[in-house]
Amino acid sequence: MNSNQSQTRTIAPIKSLRGEVSVPGDKSISHRSIMFGSLAEGTTRVSGFLMGEDNLSTWKAFESMGVTISQTGTEALEIKGVGLNGLQEPGDVLDCGNSGTTIRLMSGLLAGQNFFSVLTGDKYLRKRPMQRVVTPLAAMGAQIWGRDGGERAPLAIQGGALTPTTYASPVSSAQVKSAVLLAGLSVDGETTVTEPHLSRDHSERMLSCFGAEVRPFDGGVSLTGRPRLLAQEVVVPGDVSSAAFFMVAGLITPGAELLIRNVGINPTRSGIIDILVAMGGQMEMLDIREQSGEPVADILVRHSQLKGIEISGDMVPRAIDEFPVISVAAALAEGTTTIRDAEELRVKETDRIDAMVSELGKLGGLVEGRPDGMVITGVEQLNGGTVTSHGDHRIAMSLAVAALSARDSVTIEDVACTETSFPGFWALLGTFN
């Protein structure tokens, strides 16, 4: 592997993939550790924190609201919590960068804070839908405005008193669910959110560890407002969404045997493991344990002949960030893989259906887009070529995995975006070539 310029990477077919890797901390859990640590009383210590650009956006936003956050190690930090009512009005616009989790969760939190704030982000984030959080927050009495009638950032929020709500979310989205729950923290009473299928439950688990009363039930969750949150020690596991790139790399590379250490396997996130096993992947969960309320394991992956499967329904939110790399596995599997009910992929960092159809197509992959998914027919081997990330970190890394077993080198353009979730990705991949 060599780097032509900082924005472009050329990946040569890999010779072997044997050994061990550790991936950086979970992005979703890292965001929440700063948010809940800031709202707690006392000093929260976080280890395994992901120093990715998305999480640094959350870090800076809380510093702008008067929270002291200090780095105490390469992946460790301390947050001096200010309590539920201790945040201060930020003196400037809060820049959420590329991070949907930052802007949507903070909208919920700021709706109940007694001050004015403005949230914005990069050109990709400013295109993403925000009405999905604006609608339930407005129903709670929030004063919140955005471009396009509230659909696009920048969002301006005049925080104030909110009323309890029961919100039936039409989408299975942890960002929507968490935005409403965070607004519910300031409410005198119960806040309930239901969703079609269970989305990741890190907010529920972590809020509960910090002392909030959170009651999950079949189809939703309720939270009692105005809890007393108390500082915690948070140990962040490796991100299963980052591990997914190495899972698929291990499965598609002849002779590969790879141990991926310390991966979060929360059942609301582990759809990728179930999907790859259903495709015939040899994967073993070793030393399953619990850390800070989250299940964790080491995962052993061996080269396997994969076969096409159907993916739909409740499996979709359980693997929502992994479809770009699942499409790579499917492009090299025997038979056809059909992905349905996944229209949410169209409103991620980029339209991930269009992006994978076009980029895998350039490498000889047979991928057809559908309004709510993809139909992928496996080929024996992908070709070399030049592809682009569309500015999306997970597209860039998925294409890097596709390159590992291609006939010739693959050049990937616009790769700086991998810093949002996986700093060190290229160096780690490079250790195997």
Query: How many Cα atoms are found within 13 Å in the side-chain-facing hemisphere of 324?
Result: 29
**Binding marks (x or -) toward ligand S3P, 23..62, rule CB under 6 A?**
-----x----------------------------------
Residue 154 and residue 333: Cα distance in Å, rounded?
A: 42
Per CB under 6 A, 321 contacts ligand S3P = yes
Three-state secondary structure call for residue 419: helix
DSSP string, 269-336: TTHHHHHHHHTT-EEEEEEEEEETTEEEEEEEEE----B--EE-TTHHHHTGGGHHHHHHHHHTSBSE
Residue 406 Cβ, how far from ligand S3P at the closest point, in Å?
A: 27
Three-state secondary structure call for residue 86: coil
Looking at beta carbons only, is 95 or 195 nearer to ligand S3P?
195
Q: Which of 58, 98, 169, 173 binds ligand S3P (CB under 6 A)?
A: 173
β partners of residue 214: 223
Q: Which of 175, 253, 270, 418 binds ligand S3P (CB under 6 A)?
A: 175
Looking at beta carbons only, is 30 or 44 nearer to ligand S3P?
30
Question: What residues from 86 to 115 belong to the interface with ligand S3P (CB under 6 A)?
Answer: 100-101
Which segment (116-124, 169-177, 188-196, 301-309) binds ligand S3P by CB under 6 A? Answer: 169-177
Residue 287 Cβ, how far from ligand S3P at the closest point, in Å?
A: 26
Residue 240 Cβ, how far from ligand S3P at the closest point, in Å?
A: 11
Which segment (56-64, 170-178, 219-227, 376-384) binds ligand S3P by CB under 6 A? Answer: 170-178
Looking at beta carbons only, is 323 or 426 nearer to ligand S3P?
323
Return phi, psi of residue 289, to 5°: -145, 180
Q: Exactly one of 26, 54, 239, 321 is catalytic; which is it?
A: 321
Nearest Cα neighbor of 243 from 203, 300, 305 is: 300
Residue 81 and residue 78: Cα distance in Å, rounded?
A: 9
| Structure tokens, 72 | 């105490």
Looking at beta carbons only, is 173 or 337 nearer to ligand S3P?
173
| Structure tokens, 46 | 């976080």
286-321 in b/e burial notation, b at 16+ Cβ within 10 A? eeeeebbbbbbbbbbbebbebbbbebeeebbbbbbb
Per CB under 6 A, 117 contacts ligand S3P = no
Question: Distance of CA 239 to CAs 297, 400, 424, Å?
Answer: 11, 18, 14
Which segment (160-168, 173-181, 232-240, 404-412) binds ligand S3P by CB under 6 A? Answer: 173-181
Which segment (84-92, 156-164, 174-182, 205-213) binds ligand S3P by CB under 6 A? Answer: 174-182
Answer yes or no: 26 catalytic. Answer: no
**Residues of the shown chain interacting with ligand S3P in the complex, contacts defined by CB under 6 A:** 28, 100-101, 173-175, 178, 199-200, 320-321, 344
- Which residues carry out catalysis? 321
